[in-house]
Structure 1
Amino acid sequence: MPLPEHPRPDVERANWLNLNGLWSFRFDPNDQGLQQRWFSGTQQFPLSINVPFPWGAPLSGVKDEADIAWYQRTITVPANWKGQRVFLTIGASDWLTTVWLDGQELGKHQGGYTPFSFELTRFLKPGQPQKLVVRVDDKRRDFTLYGKQGYGNARGIWQTIYLESRGDAYLDALHFTPDIDKNKVRVTAYLPEAAQKDLRLNLRINTNNGPITATQNIPKGRQQVAFEVAIPNARRWTLDDPYLHTVEARLSGGGTTDDVLNSYFGMRKISVMDMPGTNIPYVALNNEPVYLQLALDQSYHPEGYYTFPSDAFMRNEILLARQIGLNGIRTHIKADIPRKLYWADKLGVLVMSDLPNSWGQPDEPMQKESEYTLREMIKRDYNHPAIFSWITFNETWGLTTKKKVNGKEVAEYTPETQKWVASVYRLAKSLDSTRIVEDNSVCCGRGHTETDLNSWHEYLPGYGWEEHLAKLTKNLYPGSAANFEKGYQQARQPNINSEFGNVWGYDGSTGDVDYTYDYHRAINTFRKYPQVAGWLYTEHHDVINEWNGYYRYDRTEKMTGLDELVPGMSLRDFHAPLYISTGQDITRTVKPGTTAAVPLFASFMTGRNDLGNSLVVSAKLYGWDALGQEKTWWMSDKDIPYQPWMQRALDSLRVPIPNEKSVAILALQLKDRSGTVHHRNFMTFVVDAPAPRELALADGRKARLIQFPVASFKDANWSRKQWNVLDGKKVNGAGSGYFEYRVAVPRDINLANVAMASLVMEAGAKQLFGKDMGDGKIEGDYMLGRGTADPSRNPNAYPQTDETRFPSAVTVWVNGENSGRYDLPDDPGDHRGILSWHAQPQNRKLNEAGSYGYRLSVPIAAEALRKAAQTGELLIRLAVDDGLPGGLALYGSDFGRYPIDPTVVLVLK
């Protein structure tokens, strides 16, 4: 049985029966099932579907062949449920769902995201098999909340379907509103209808100090009741200690059977407050500001679409965010599955929850559907402490009205619609005054109306953040009309960049390029501008047409290379509360032998008061010389002041630049006085010096160096394609084939006086991408997920290093002598490709950014030198045979990772 766990740990009754698994199934392309009475339970349904996976999703076992489909299975209600009220609950089904039991209609439901229940009691035969039939009509309607189902449709039943028994009088909902300031919780109990007689609600709340009991009468005629329960010395729900108060609720007095359900809540508070010592508003958790570091979470699975394959997978989704140091996610354009929200509650990760959008116009049916779904979302998810924000609309999708202007059709965000959006904001606040509500997560020239957050979306190349944030923050003040629609203005809302990333930052880009280099630039810049109270990165994982995730679509790892550039560094360092920024420009070209002034900005997003009044920045300068040899040039410690929530520029760090051609990494560690490392960061220098012609070796001998440009090959032949990058900074051959160079031996070198020789170069495998085959065009509407599942067709792509390798091997021949065969494990691209990133022109296009290879040192045989003494040249052939035709990429001194051109090293006797 898939997803056997109870789907609602916050509304769980003991007597329940999971109906997930294989059901008989039948498509109804001509909509004839109702007329032919397929609901009777006597029809044969020829297919089998694995519920609750939506039809069309691979895990469902059926293809998407029609807009209407029917489900059927036999159920047997346990005999000991006799005399109890029994309900069928469907967690979610898209869109018009009708249910029958033994041919008797139980009810209909319209909507695609929230749960609904039908009572079976009067038709039940406990202990006997009965036929349950479900019809789902998912015809496309402009007003329905379709969201981004282009990534995979949520067709039909897509959340757990189950039976449960309830009391004679039962609870429709039970909401808990914590008040940490007064150590109490407000309890609101809802009945499905007015009480037929006096009822009694008994609560047992399990706390860190033992159980607390409370009793409340519900008089006849009342449909809801609210009361307060004191929770002395309550243990709070925090990100580091996400403690949940579990509850057993018993409703009695309605008849012979009580209604008993289990729930939970977290004692926590969401509010807005100024960062201490400033007048900058921040979202606060438990009266302490939170610097929001979030990921946009499309919450899709490649085989289940809207539905995840297991509870363990949902738990891991939350862990994937937590383990890289994020403090929240934004579930994008869908109401997420309750068990995933449960794991956010259990593990301590904040959630922004989106109302799904329509793709039609804001007409009356769309408005009605939106308001209904918002009400049901908030009703369902009210008790999840992880949810801190409701977002009612995104980028005005579904909010524009088509009009003719000067004969052309335009989409207008009308003042009337803006007023309605403001009213939906107020509706959400009336339903839940305890959370942040955002009217519209804005983009593309449109703005806010009434909102608790001043958010915006901005997708930029990494080099654009300093200019953008410098201009933007000048307009972040109460009364500013920037980022708001006409007639509305900023108040004292927290300001957050609620979507960013290089997925859309380059022309025609859909991601699938090393995100870490631009991410590094962006985060460094955000931390210099505390007026921006947080950010949201696109995205948690790749999806069909956006490949900019922290993780691949199948949730496998992407390799950043950070730990190799700076030992111990990971993505968590970019999300550290204590942060030292060197600014946007993380790579700088410098002259040899000079001194570089490195700006330092301290961004301390924490109230910790146990660190004293100073910290230490330990600096180390190391890297690679013109032969790719690792060296360390300089180390220093610098004391800096510390105060909780301190945001300020520090004195610049003066760094002595190596007096040689090199790539130098300035690694920074922020430590406390005990030596504990709280944060790591780095920037790099490209030392612009001539390549050396001669080296002095440690044993007193000399080596002569003969460099040659990587694009100076005299012959090349490749089975698939050969091409150069950025005027020959890098050369590529795909498939099998070779590059051949003729390297002249300088006349002042006597080869008879050479003790040994080698060829040093940077080389990697070379995968042939769709864009390199001249087929970079991507069709379709990105917002609906259409386009291509081949990310390599993206014109800016160079897929980031991940768990999938693309190996090759190169055989090196010098003057006809075999110098060996060398494995090239991959065709990598990540933060280690510093030179490739630094070489990019700032024109919103990428040319194999982040790509790099491996340093090879190939011995040259004495016989090859003997032949060179006769001919005056070295004939070097770099060949990939058809046994492992993974191609070959060769890097010059200003592309890749190492500052080396292919170099012949001649060690003199």
Structure 2
Amino acid sequence: MTHSKKLLYLFCYFLTFNLSAQENIPLPEHPRPDFERADWQNLNGNWAFEFDKNDVGLTQKWHSSAKPFTKTISVPFPWGSPLSGVKDEADIAWYKKSITINPSWKGKKVFVTIGASDWETTVWLDGKLLGSHKGGYTPFSFELTNVKHGAKQNLVIRVDDKRRDFTLYGKQGYGNARGLWQTIYLEGRGQNYIDAIHFTPDIDKSEVKVTTYLAKPAPQDIALSVSIDGPQSTATRQTFPKGQTEYSFTIPMPSARLWDLEDPYLYNTTVKLGDDEVKSYFGMRKISTVNLPGTNYKYIALNNKPVYMQLALDQSYHPEGFYTFPTDEFMKNEILIARNIGLNGIRTHIKVDVPRKLYWADKLGVLVMSDLPNSWGEPDKNAQQESEYTLKEMIKRDYNHPAIFSWITFNETWGLRTKKVVNGKTENIYTPETQKWVASVYRLAKSLDATRLVEDNSICCGAGHTETDINSWHEYLPGWEWENHLKMIDEKTFVGSDFHYEKGYKQTDVPNINSECGNVWGYEGSTGDCDWSWDYHRMINTFRKYPKIAGWLYTEHHDVINEWNGYVRFDRSEKDLGVQEMVKGMSLKDFHAPFYISTGNEISKTAQANEVVTVPLYASFMTDRTDVGNKLTLKINLYGYDALGQEKTWSSMERTIDYQPWLQKELPSIDVKMPNEKAVVTMSLVLVDNAGNELHHNVMNFIVDAPTPAEIVLLSGKKARLVSVNARDFKSAKWSAKQWNVLDGLKINGAGNGYFEYAFKIPSGLDLNNVESVAFVVEAGAKQLFAKDMDKKLKGNENYMLGAIADPVQNPNAYAMTDMKKFPSSVSVSVNGTFAGRYDLPDDPSDHRGVLSWHNQLKDKKLREAGSYGYRLGVNIPQKAIEEAKKTGELVVRLEVPESMNGGLAIYGDKFGRYPLNPTAVFVLK
């Protein structure tokens, strides 16, 4: 070929290559910023695709034949996921794509790397077998041995994802990771290429250990260099010795900038081995355990300082991509969701997470507990091999992520029980032999990575620990049960205790943390979709009373198909806790604040008018900050709603609190005088430093139990006579869908279109001629007819872990928590046949503002529209209706939802909802 023809050829190639690179392919970024070569080509995007329902592809040689594939799939989304573009029609499928190897890669070894594919994956190039891999979560590569640089070649992949009891399936019932589910790419490597690089920081010695791994022994001594970019850039040259596959050395890191949660600094590195070059990064940080200062309570530590663990269980699922996220920005936002609400970590649950998501945890400063996925069969030889292989590979892949602070090898004994016949009955037993194996897996993980903590089994449901660095436990409870439970945990946790441990094993000097909690499974059959914030508030208040328990892990980061108690919805839209309206400046972040003041487990209390209530106070300062001074101010205000739903302020006070780092103690209680009237009282607690910065907000509620007064002073200063009726005492009702009552009529519901009608007798002795005006006041909301309230019973597979689909409000305990999606209604009010006005009802909300609806729940592990509340409507009654009342002696109020709106109507009484208000006629006196 002449020189000019060669240039023309290369120009055409690069033109084609660049156009291809500009295609809108999913997840175009390099999948592993911690292990990246410059010569790489992303193969994500559209591939030809064919299901192999009868498993004939191998015998018919689909890998080498010209057989056309009839479907197109978007890689790397698992087949069956909406983003893949294909439905789940079979257990075996084939992929085909035309690829072109960059001519500039001549002289390099060319590999195809698949980030993850579930489960048995076989790859051919132009009909030649490259290799096969078994496993569903970790990357693997095959060398392309018949490369034709610059020419089109056919890459064919077969994936067999038949269910096998021993494979690590995890919670793929939320959406199967079928086939390719992480980025696939080509890369050019050196002749003696780097298989892995591990950086082991040692902040105590101010150095980092660098270990370089080869896939096979070095054929000769090879030049090795490592450069580190940072505040003090450094470079070192070494020689990788002949015959070795592993070589380590240390690099001094004087005055290193540490990686921590506020300053997650990463050192970028370049490692060159002969003609191979890889870019990576690491963080100078240390994971260990230390005592909480002033105590003998063991805590997980970052850089030798205790960290009070406040984590979320992260199922790491996407509604349309299942295991695979649609964009890199989405993965970044997953980490930001946790960070922005004040959490310091997540637990990626039963899934080896996507490297770029871990990268964002590294970049943004969020800690990660990393789970080994589980099988659902018995722990036979195949299951044990699969677990150990995946554990080794996940540690190898993710070793350099500073965000990861622990490996969890098993969860809730899933995949660890063996069927045994005991006394003629078949039982699933966690056998002593399996326990020994679990302990050996703990030791295996420690041998692979001595820099992190390892947990043998995140325990639940009667199973215990063997050997572990963390004494963790799961518990799901209603809010009121946390006090007794945490007190019990506190008392039974000590070195040498056999509590939470299997027979023959005892607690060592390790941190005790909760590793799953919440109310979701704390009620009969779970909560369904409900307001989680009330029970969450009680739970967190209680955890902060017991600092011997070194942290908690809430279930969960986002909703999934059978658990709707996430901080955000499955689509990551926000939920509304309502606390911002209860205390100015308060948010979800206050429940995770390092400075914490609370009243303990009780966040609502019944009181009497004029009663002086003694309120306990607890301080939990999980911080070593010294910039706030040694005196803090607690501002306490009492305000709320009277019997007419009028907003009032009753009193305020201040308290000085001595501050010292890591302080955990009960403070002197406060005496709070209740108002001399029926009311819902909000007591706000705002902790302020000397500079006026608000460090923490909290809230407690009092329900002042008193009769609805016959007469009241309005905010205008005028007097008014009141006539109230119970919400359930309506005169008549008619609804197109359904009418029913909650808790014997504390709240009444009408679904669809229709009306409720109330009658109010004019008080004896009241001359309407001496009345300036008349109003009707009520708390009302829209009323959606949820699946649980329909008369027909819905059927469904209850094994949600393995793929059941559930309606979020099918659960009898459910009442959808307030979120961005609204269910509006409107109500037309007429009095004595005269139209008085039409009022919009924006939603049927349920959150922290529904104080009465939570306070009056029965403690029987069932929920009845808990947290639901409405809107205060004040309706001015027309003079024509008043004139009619003079004749009849009553006001008949009809609240009607028109057919055009069809949004239903809920009426709240004085013991449900937000206001201590029954439907009330208000006669304002002249």
Given the two structures, how large is their TM-score scaled by the length of structure 1? 0.98
Partners of 1:41 and 1:72 within 8 A in 2: no
State the SS of the aligned residue for 1:791: coil
Map 1:889-908; keep pairs closer than 5 Å. 889-908=906-925
Map 1:135-174; keep pairs closer than 5 Å. 135-174=158-197
Partners of 1:334 and 1:354 within 8 A in 2: yes
Aligned to 2:256: 234
Q: 2:711 aligns with which of 694, 699, 702?
A: 694
Q: 1:9 aligns with which of 33, 43, 46?
A: 33
Displacement of 1:702 after TM fit? 2.4
Measure the CA separation in 2 of the matches of 1:238 and 1:836: 42
With over 3 angstroms needed to count, the CA separation of the structure-2 counterparts of 1:706 and 1:794, relative to structure 1, is same
Aligned to 1:577: 594
With over 3 angstroms needed to count, the CA separation of the structure-2 counterparts of 1:785 and 1:524, relative to structure 1, is farther
Q: Deviations over 1:699-735 (max 9, x none)?
A: 6642111111111112111000000000110000000
Q: Deviations over 1:375-431 (max 9, x none)?
A: 000000000000000000000000000112233221000000000000000000000
Measure the CA separation in 2 of the matches of 1:366 and 1:375: 14
Measure the CA separation in 2 of the matches of 1:376 and 1:702: 76
State the SS of the aligned residue for 1:756: strand
Equivalent pairs, count:
902
Displacement of 1:776 after TM fit? 5.8
Residue 24 (str. 1) matches residue 48 (str. 2): yes
Residue 65 (str. 1) matches residue 89 (str. 2): yes
Range 506-515 or range 26-35, more displaced: 506-515
Range 748-757 or range 291-300, more displaced: 748-757
Map 1:77-116; keep pairs closer than 5 Å. 77-116=101-140
Unaligned runs of 5+ in 1: 253-257
Q: 2:149 aligns with which of 110, 126, 151?
A: 126
Aligned to 1:36: 60
Q: 1:684 aligns with which of 686, 701, 717?
A: 701
State the SS of the aligned residue for 1:38: coil
Q: Structure 1 vs Structure 2: percent identity of aligned residues?
A: 64
Measure the CA separation in 1 of the matches of 2:717 and 2:576: 41
Q: Deviations over 1:431-487 (max 9, x none)?
A: 000001000000011100000000000000001000111112101100000000000
Letter in 1 for 2:52: D
Displacement of 1:315 after TM fit? 0.3
Map 1:809-824; keep pairs closer than 5 Å. 809-824=826-841
Measure the CA separation in 2 of the matches of 1:786 and 1:15: 40
Letter in 2 for 1:242: P
Measure the CA separation in 2 of the matches of 1:588 and 1:775: 38
Q: 1:390 aligns with which of 383, 407, 412?
A: 407
Q: 2:269 aligns with which of 218, 223, 247?
A: 247
Letter in 2 for 1:403: K
Partners of 1:814 and 1:875 within 8 A in 2: yes
Q: 2:463 aligns with which of 440, 446, 453?
A: 446
Measure the CA separation in 2 of the matches of 1:796 and 1:201: 63
Aligned to 2:225: 202
State the SS of the aligned residue for 2:733: strand
Partners of 2:528 and 2:563 within 8 A in 1: yes
Partners of 1:396 and 1:442 within 8 A in 2: yes
With over 3 angstroms needed to count, the CA separation of the structure-2 counterparts of 1:775 and 1:606, relative to structure 1, is farther
Displacement of 1:750 after TM fit? 1.2
Measure the CA separation in 2 of the matches of 1:445 and 1:789: 27
Range 480-489 or range 774-783, more displaced: 774-783
Partners of 1:512 and 1:792 within 8 A in 2: yes
Aligned to 2:3: none
Displacement of 1:232 after TM fit? 1.1
Letter in 2 for 1:550: Y
Measure the CA separation in 2 of the matches of 1:589 and 1:775: 38
Displacement of 1:200 after TM fit? 1.5
Partners of 1:776 and 1:793 within 8 A in 2: no
Measure the CA separation in 1 of the matches of 2:547 and 2:662: 10
State the SS of the aligned residue for 1:468: helix
Map 1:207-356; keep pairs closer than 5 Å. 207-209=230-232, 211-252=233-274, 258-356=275-373
Aligned to 1:496: 513
Residue 49 (str. 1) matches residue 73 (str. 2): yes
Partners of 2:117 and 2:178 within 8 A in 1: yes
Displacement of 1:692 after TM fit? 1.1
With over 3 angstroms needed to count, the CA separation of the structure-2 counterparts of 1:264 and 1:710, relative to structure 1, is same
State the SS of the aligned residue for 1:458: strand
Q: Deviations over 1:225-284 (max 9, x none)?
A: 0110001110000000000000011101xxxxx101100000000000000110000000
Partners of 1:545 and 1:782 within 8 A in 2: no
Aligned to 1:379: 396
Range 258-267 or range 769-778, more displaced: 769-778
Measure the CA separation in 1 of the matches of 2:656 and 2:903: 50
Residue 182 (str. 1) matches residue 200 (str. 2): no
Letter in 1 for 2:147: L
Aligned to 2:886: 869
Letter in 2 for 1:329: I
Displacement of 1:207 after TM fit? 1.5
Measure the CA separation in 1 of the matches of 2:778 and 2:58: 72
With over 3 angstroms needed to count, the CA separation of the structure-2 counterparts of 1:843 and 1:317, relative to structure 1, is same
Measure the CA separation in 2 of the matches of 1:327 and 1:891: 40
Residue 400 (str. 1) matches residue 417 (str. 2): yes
Displacement of 1:598 after TM fit? 1.0
Letter in 2 for 1:91: G
With over 3 angstroms needed to count, the CA separation of the structure-2 counterparts of 1:306 and 1:510, relative to structure 1, is farther
Displacement of 1:40 after TM fit? 0.4
Displacement of 1:753 after TM fit? 1.7
Partners of 1:778 and 1:793 within 8 A in 2: no
Partners of 1:41 and 1:132 within 8 A in 2: no
Measure the CA separation in 1 of the matches of 2:482 and 2:245: 54
State the SS of the aligned residue for 1:446: coil
Measure the CA separation in 2 of the matches of 1:447 and 1:701: 66
Q: 1:608 aligns with which of 600, 620, 625?
A: 625
Q: 1:825 aligns with which of 835, 842, 851?
A: 842
Partners of 1:670 and 1:680 within 8 A in 2: yes
Measure the CA separation in 2 of the matches of 1:673 and 1:514: 36
Letter in 1 for 2:70: P
With over 3 angstroms needed to count, the CA separation of the structure-2 counterparts of 1:408 and 1:779, relative to structure 1, is farther
Letter in 2 for 1:527: R
Measure the CA separation in 2 of the matches of 1:259 and 1:131: 26
Aligned to 2:685: 668
Q: Deviations over 1:303-329 (max 9, x none)?
A: 000000000000000000000000000
State the SS of the aligned residue for 1:580: strand
Aligned to 1:255: none
Q: Deviations over 1:106-152 (max 9, x none)?
A: 000000000000000x3000000000000000000000000000000
Partners of 2:475 and 2:517 within 8 A in 1: yes
Q: Deviations over 1:527-582 (max 9, x none)?
A: 00001000000000000111010000000000010111111100110000010121
Displacement of 1:619 after TM fit? 0.5
Letter in 2 for 1:101: L
Partners of 1:502 and 1:511 within 8 A in 2: no
Displacement of 1:786 after TM fit? 3.4
With over 3 angstroms needed to count, the CA separation of the structure-2 counterparts of 1:20 and 1:295, relative to structure 1, is same
Q: 1:763 aligns with which of 777, 780, 789?
A: 780
